[in-house]
Amino acid sequence: MKKVVVLGTGGTIAGRAQSVTDEIGYTAGVVPVADLLAGLSLPAGLVAEHEQVAQTDSKDMTLAIWQRLGQRVAHHLARPEVAGMVITHGTDTLEETAWFLHQVLAPTKPVVLTCAMRPATALMPDGPQNLNDALRVAADGRIGGVVVVCAGRLHAAQDVTKVHTWRLDAFGSGDAGPLGVIEAGELRLFRQSVPGRADPGLWARVQGVRALPRVELVFSHADAQGHLVRSLLAAPGGDIPPLRGLVVAGTGNGTVHTALAEALEEAQAQGVVVWRGTRCALGRPVTSGRSGGDWPLAEPSVIKARLSLALALL
Ligand code: SIN
């Protein structure tokens, strides 16, 4: 028997609407993970345990939920009888949670995040198929680390990005492409995921804080100015933490408007760490130097790099 533990965190996969035809006006994060599993018939040789870790719309993801999720993932992965884990999650910040777990836990056993674009109450929900596929990937034995299953495709944590607002196949893996596909319940693997390399003390540090170091994301664009960066630098009031880092989503090859670059240099002179990426959906900046400032590259995406920089500053 292979044991897989399923952790529920909410999302559209656990969403409920008033009518079966309503795919928009639903509430995410309502249906318990136990009910999501109850509708599935597991293949012979697979048993699933479940636990509700959170019940949220993932746009509202917090550090507190990540800390609890990380604790439960670490706890279950340490059990020798557990072959792998599945996490049901909203699509909106799924790539950030995947990146968080990849960065802080770097598991070798499979941790498979899955989701849905239609609520559980829809006429034809996509969640049951995705959950079924995710369970099979978690028990497959050929893949390890943090991965994502959606619409029959398997993505690596470092590559996965939400690329579409409503399509069922809402995720892409950019230039790298998916790790594999799930065909009629069978995983066809194109390549292996690259395992994470967690800093051994990082997870302990993450568990010990109430907030990550403050890192903000700014965009370069036509007619950009430095005002936003300068107001971020102004001494914050109340209990707002001081700015520690900035990730700039540059144009094209990671280039930054001169007016914005000047403000970023002022920020750097005041001790703020600046990283530079691209606002392009595909590709990575390949330039360095004055065309985009001498700032380290923000990879694998500016969204994930914002989290990486906060973790690095910890
Ligand atoms: C969410 O991210 O929790 C809501 C949207 C979705 O899951 O597609």
| Cα 266 to Cα 252: distance, rounded to the nearest angstrom | 23
Mutating to test ligand 1, I would choose from 57, 114, 161, 164 the residue with most ligand atoms within 8 A of its C-beta, which is 57
**What atom of ligand 1 comes closest to residue 170's alpha carbon?**
8
**What atom of ligand 1 comes closest to residue 57's alpha carbon?**
3
Mutating to test ligand 1, I would choose from 33, 59, 126 the residue with most ligand atoms within 8 A of its C-beta, which is 59
Active-site residue flag, 121: no
Q: Taking CA 221 as the corner, what is the angle to CA 166 and CA 58, rounded to the nearest 5 degrees?
A: 35
Q: 12, 91, 97, 251: which is the annotated catalytic residue?
A: 12
Pair of tokens at residue 135: 């369970």
Residues in contact with ligand 1 by the CB-under-6-Å rule are 10-12, 28, 57-59, 90-92, 115, 117
Paired with 111 in beta bridges are 85, 146
**What atom of ligand 1 comes closest to residue 117's alpha carbon?**
8
Pair of tokens at residue 242: 């001081």
| Cα 163 to Cα 92: distance, rounded to the nearest angstrom | 10
What are the b/e assignments for 241-261, b being 16+ CB within 10 Å?
eebbbbbbbbbeebbbbeebb
Pair of tokens at residue 201: 């003390």
| Cα 214 to Cα 122: distance, rounded to the nearest angstrom | 39
Mutating to test ligand 1, I would choose from 56, 58, 95, 130 the residue with most ligand atoms within 8 A of its C-beta, which is 58
Pair of tokens at residue 253: 């090859």
Q: At 259, which amino acid appears?
A: A
**Helix, strand, or coil here: 202?**
helix
- pTM of the entire predicted model: 0.97
Paired with 216 in beta bridges are 246
**At 87, which helix (H) or strand (E)?**
strand 82-88
Q: What string of pLDDT tens digits covers the 314 residues of the chain?
A: 999 999 999 999 999 999 998 888 899 999 999 999 998 989 889 999 999 999 999 999 999 999 999 999 999 999 999 999 999 999 999 999 999 999 999 999 999 999 999 999 999 999 999 999 999 999 999 999 999 999 999 999 999 999 999 999 999 999 999 999 999 999 999 999 888 888 889 999 999 999 999 999 999 999 999 999 999 999 777 888 999 999 999 999 999 999 999 999 999 999 999 999 999 999 988 866 545 568 999 999 999 999 999 999 99
CA of 135 to the centre of ligand 1 (A): 20
DSSP 130-193: HHHHHHHHHHHSS--EEEEEETTEEEETTT-EE--SS-SS-EE-GGG--SEEEETTEEEESSPP
**What atom of ligand 1 comes closest to residue 60's alpha carbon?**
3
**Predicted local confidence at residue 48, as pLDDT:** 98
| Cα 46 to Cα 42: distance, rounded to the nearest angstrom | 6
CA of 266 to the centre of ligand 1 (A): 37
CA of 79 to the centre of ligand 1 (A): 30
Q: Cα 81 from chain centroid?
A: 27
CA of 125 to the centre of ligand 1 (A): 14
Contact between 13 and 94 under an 8 Å Cβ cutoff? The reply is: no
Q: Which of 56, 104, 54 is nearest to 77 (CA)?
A: 104
**What atom of ligand 1 comes closest to residue 115's alpha carbon?**
7
CA of 3 to the centre of ligand 1 (A): 27
